[in-house]
Amino acid sequence: MNFLFAWRYFKAKKSTNAINIIAWISILAIGVGAAALILVLSVFNGFEDLVKSLYSSFYPDLRVGPAAGKQLVLTNAQLAQIRGVNGVAWSSATLEEKALLQNGDNQSIIYLKGVDDNYRRVSGVADHMLRGSFEVGTAEEPMLVLGAGVENAVGVQSDRNLAPLLVHLPRKGSADLSNPLNSISADTVNTSGAFLIQQDFDNKYVLTSLGFVQRMMDLPPDRYSYLEIALKGNADPATVQRRVASLLGGQYKVQTRYEQNASLYAVMRAEKWVIYAILSLILVVAAFNMIGSLTMLVLEKKADIQVLHALGSSSRRIQGIFLSEGMLLALIGGGSGILLALGLALAQLKYKFIPLTGGSFLIDYFPVKLNPWDFVLVASTILVIALIASWIPARKAAKQQFALREP
């Protein structure tokens, strides 16, 4: 019944066009705000998914590291036990250390990461080769796979392999305090290719043979930085994490992919809420228009309110009518904006008609991902703001004194 009155008041001709104009401005502002919220959140979801997919190409499903220090010891028996854990598909031992990479006068500080033969199965780096091939060689004949940023910094074309690069690496196993230069090992290594994933990796990582890094650092073959684990398709990361952690004990730290990048995910979540809060201000501005429109409508329908009182309507019923009027404006504006945003987002998904300029990213269009919870969030926000905005004029209407004849 309340919405029936609200609909009649919305359609009825007003004594002044200003009321209609302000009402339609409110609807337009709510529609623009709703569309902007849905579209921006959907684009943000698309970028978030893209970043996560890029990071998942470098970070494994699970990673075993030392609870303290930079290196861990894993025996062959322990490695075999981990491979036998239910849910584990593959494991790869890796060893990372800062190194100096030199090509003539060009040099760069890098993270040299030694990987074993199973690394292809736990990482997606091999699927993101910019040029050349993913070949890390052996301990005796190593090869370097450079990040695209490192390749540019040292001025080489990795696939051409015109001249070997000089690698300087600290010896961890036998430091000579009397002659610090003896604590640095150096060797020349050829390149096999370059990968392009994301600047955080491209600008600092170089991959090579695990045995080569262990030899350069004077470390035994059971000394690693991490054990990287790929899970079977139906395995739950948290469950397998608990199994591996209970198997190894407290000297080791087992992290899921989320925990390896906890700060990144926290920042992305915070950014999304900040964007939501900023764009919600458009709806708040629309609410002020709605207050003005409903207040003028209350003055316009003052005689109708008196008649409703005379017919026995309670103040609560009259308040409900004008609350419904505000909700009606919100439903028309919000519904139109959400449908418009949905259409544009689906069109972008199919036709990619909005380009991403600059040419420095992996894609040339704005990525979009529709999340049903975003629609629920935006719709709820619109209804809450509309309810609050409608309360003041609706309360004013309910408090009008019953008097059929003006004094």
Query: Is residue 407's pLDDT more than 50?
Result: no
Tokens of 233: 């398709």
> Which range scores top for mean pLDDT: 2-16, 107-121, 281-295?
107-121
Give the number of C-alpha atoms closer than 13 A to the C-alpha of residue 287, restricted to the C-beta side. Answer: 18
Position 233 scores a pLDDT of: 87
Position 329 scores a pLDDT of: 85
**d(Cα 389, Cα 369) in Å, to the nearest integer?**
31
Position 19 scores a pLDDT of: 65
What's the maximum distance between 2 C-alpha atoms anywhere in the chain? 107
Query: Is residue 390's pLDDT more than 80?
Result: yes
Tokens of 348: 């972008």
Query: Is residue 61's pLDDT more than 80?
Result: yes
Tokens of 342: 């949905």
Position 287 scores a pLDDT of: 83
Burial of 132 (0-12, 13-18, 19+ CB in 10 A): buried
User: Domain residue spans in the chain?
Assistant: 2-55+264-398, 62-259
Q: CA torsion 93→97→103→108, rounded to 10°?
A: 130
Structure confidence at residue 397 as a pLDDT band (50, 70, 90)? low
Position 297 scores a pLDDT of: 66
What tens digit of pLDDT does each residue of 113-168 get? 999 999 999 999 999 999 999 999 999 999 999 999 999 999 998 888 778 999 99
Q: Are the C-beta atoms of residues 226 and 63 closer than 8 Å to each other?
A: yes
Give the number of C-alpha atoms closer than 13 A to the C-alpha of residue 134, restricted to the C-beta side. Answer: 19
Tokens of 259: 């925990």
Q: Are the C-beta atoms of residues 219 and 173 closer than 8 Å to each other?
A: yes
What tens digit of pLDDT does each residue of 348-380 get? 999 988 888 765 566 778 899 999 999 999 999
Position 8 scores a pLDDT of: 57
Structure confidence at residue 389 as a pLDDT band (50, 70, 90)? confident
Query: pTM (2 decimals)?
Result: 0.78
Give the N- to C-terminal CA distance of the chain in Å, as an integer.
31
